[in-house]
Amino acid sequence: MTPGLIYALAGVALFVLGLAGVVVLNQALRRILAFNLMGSGAFLTLVGLAQRDGGVDPVPQAMVLTGIVVAVAATALALALARRLAQGGHGDG
Amino acid sequence: MGMAEAFLDPLPWLIVLPLAWAALAFLGGPGRGGHLAVTGLVVQLALALALAGQVLENGARTHAVGGWGAPLGIDLLADGLAVAMLLLAQVVALPLAVYARAYFSEVAQTAFWPLAGFLIAALNALFLSADLFNLYVTLELLSLAAVGLVALGGKPMQVAAALRYLLVSLTASAAYLMGVALIYGTYGTVSIATLAPLIGADPPLAAWLAAGLMLTGLLAKTALFPFHFWLPPAHGGAAAPVSALLSALVVKASFYLVLRLALDVFPALAAHAAPILGVLGAAAILWGSWQALRTPHIKMLVAWSTVAQLGYLFLVFPLLAPDGLALQAGVMQAIAHGLAKAAMFAAAGVLMLATGRDTLAGLAGVAGRVPVTLFAFGLAGVTLMGLPPSGGFLAKWLLIEAALSHGQWPWVVVVIGGGLLAAAYVFKVLRQAFLLAPEDSHFHPVPRSMEWAAFVLAAASVVLGLRGVELMALLAKGAA
């Protein structure tokens, strides 16, 4: 088993854990964290799978960087909404 | 392509322009955004028409952003399907911008225009994307702008609906991204054109898994039954112009992607999933229509009708064939429903402003006060029911023709049954509006521009049925 494949499998495990979290948990903050876990899992799989032949492929790294920026923006929006909801007194977070 | 030619190409401007007016609206502050948006959208509509002319004449074409081609840079692709969706987006957005200028207070407009601009830019970029990863990015941009718009009013119910929508949307995008990771790991590319021949008819397990993840994620975003639970509160609870943008355009973007994947990336795999998609579509038509009939709120009725009408889009998949009938039906339905639903939400917004209430019961007597709006609601209803000569009629006719030519008559029953149910919920609204107003009721005046914006959209959805030939010619221009 190559190191790249180990990363990819770890990524899949993180993704599944995160997905279970989003579906099962009911607090907004925990679900937002679980979504981040899913994202990280997908990124790890993307980088891990692309390294099978030993060399480093720059394209998935660029994709993951873009993906992280998107995930940060999405998390910020989710947190802002969750806070607004909690302040309104009707929140579940 | 020379420097000047590249600069005059309408393709990149369809993405840059909305970004520009969105940013300017944000910087300009209250009272400026509406003017900029309407001007920008007029230019965008002209650009989309110019692009459609080019594609009709010379076939599909690509544009390397900034002169850097794939794989290092990003390629944009405009084929018939992409241009048809681009046209829909600009045609719907322009009257809605006029509507929104009258609908929102100046304070609400400061947030509306930047978000609406980003939404349109993300949509246009999505329709023009030629690789799976760029599609992921545009899909996320679209969701972020859409969620922001849902939360615009700031009421606890709207914020709760926005958060739920965001979490569903993010989970769905993560599933899509995982699919992209598996595809890149297996084939070393995310370009749609390169992937199609590589994947072929008998792909490895990783491709199956990727297709399953991407498809499931996109179905959740399109709110196909049983993933529809987030749609009615988000679309029904948002401000009227926002509901119109979301129901008409945003859910169509993920449907467009499902169609792209089924046609260009995983045709063999999609063929296996097609019967399931058809059954879910049929379930969506029946369940959505039933819920629309039961709800006492006008906008929830329109939102549940979206759940039902989205179902028709998925009847297309079991009928996809080289004759192209089902594809034409799907795109016609997407466009006709886009126009009609934008009109219906716009009309519902006017009815709620005029009566000051959000229930069907409150509509009594409204027919005499806002006749143009009610006429618009009825015309949009004609498209949803599928009566001639509307675009909805043409879409459903093509669907029935495709189903009969494959000998799959159960779909015919669903199409006709769905039309009857649509008639039932549309007439429920109209009947209430024509009742006599109670003695103690009083109506608020509504700006004329809002009524006419709704009317223009509704009329376009009906007239579309007469321009079907042009649309078919456009769709025939595949990515050769």
Q: How far does CA B346 lie from the centroid of its chain?
A: 15
| Structural contact between residues B329 and B415, judged by C-beta atoms closer than 8 angstroms | no
pLDDT value, residue A91:
40
Dist CA B84 CA B476 (whole Å): 11
In a domain? residue B480: no
How many Å apart are CA B89 and CA B78, to the nearest integer?
14
Residue B229's domain comprises 3-475
Distance from CA of B156 to the nearest CA of A (A): 6
Cβ distance A35 to B167 less than 8 Å, yes or no, reads yes
- Could you tell me which of B279, B278, B261 has the C-alpha nearest to residue B270? B261
B44 shares contact with chain A (CB less than 8 Å): no
Helix (H) or strand (E) holding B77: strand B75-78
- Interface contact A15, partner B, CB < 8 A: yes
Report the number of distinct structural domains present in chain A: 1
Backbone angles phi, psi at B468, to 5 degrees: -60, -35
What is the least distance, in Å, from the CA of A93 to any CA of chain B? 11
Q: Please, which residues bridge with residue B63 across strands?
A: B76
Is A77 among the domain residues? Answer: yes
> Across-strand partners of B64?
B75
What is residue B141's predicted lDDT score, i.e. its pLDDT? 96
Check if A28 contacts B (Cβ < 8 Å). yes
Positions of chain B with pLDDT under 70 = 1-6, 71, 479-480
B170 touches chain A (CB under 8 A): yes
Phi, psi of B364 (to 5 degrees): -50, 125
All residues of chain A having their beta carbon less than 8 Å from the beta carbon of residue B151 are: 81, 84
ipTM field: 0.93
- Best of B159, B164, B230 to mutate (most A CBs within 10 Å, chain A): B159
Cβ-contact A70, B176 below 8 angstroms: no
B10-28 and B106-128 helices, crossing angle to 10°: 160
Within-domain flag for A92: no
For residue A53, what is the domain's CATH number?
1.10.287.3510
Distance from C-alpha of B291 to C-alpha of B163, rounded to nearest angstrom = 23
pLDDT at B319: 93
The minimal CB distance from B170 to the residues A28, A35, A89 is found for A35
In a domain, A93, yes or no: no
Distance CA B370, CA B368 (A): 6
**Where in the sequence is the domain holding A65, given as residue range(s)?**
3-87
The CA–CA distances, whole Å, from B382 to A10, B85, B391 equal 53, 22, 9
For residue B152, give the DSSP letter.
G
Longest dimension (CA), chain A: 54
User: Which tokens in the block code for residue B14?
Assistant: 């369809």
Length of chain B: 480
What is the C-alpha to C-alpha distance for residues B193 and B172, in angstroms, rounded to an integer?
24
CA neighbor of B72 nearest in space, from B64, B82, B80: B64
- B167 lies within 8 A of chain A by CB: yes
Which of A38, A50, A82 minimises the CB distance to B185? A50
**A11, A66, A77 member nearest B147 (Cβ):** A77
Instruction: Look at chain B and report how many structural domains it folds into.
Output: 1
pLDDT confidence of residue A92: 41
Instruction: State residue B344's pLDDT score.
Output: 97
Q: What separation, in Å, do the N-terminal and C-terminal C-alpha atoms of chain B show?
A: 19
In a domain, A33, yes or no: yes
pLDDT in tens, B198-210: 988 788 999 999 9
Q: Is A82 on the interface with B (CB under 8 A)?
A: yes
Q: CA of A46: which chain B residue's CA is closest?
A: B181
Instruction: Report if residue B63 sits inside a domain.
Output: yes
Q: Can you tell me the distance from the alpha carbon of B476 to that of B480, in angstroms, rounded to the nearest whole number?
A: 10
User: Does residue B227 form part of some domain?
Assistant: yes
Contacts of A74 in chain B (CB under 8 A): 140, 143-144, 166, 170
pLDDT of residue A52: 63
d(CA A22, CA A16): 10
pLDDT band of A57, cuts 50, 70, 90: confident
pLDDT at A53: 65
- B425-474 pLDDT tens trace: 999 999 999 998 887 778 899 999 999 999 999 999 999 988 888 888 88
Q: State residue B105's pLDDT score.
A: 87
In chain A, the percentage of residues whose pLDDT exceeds 70 is 90
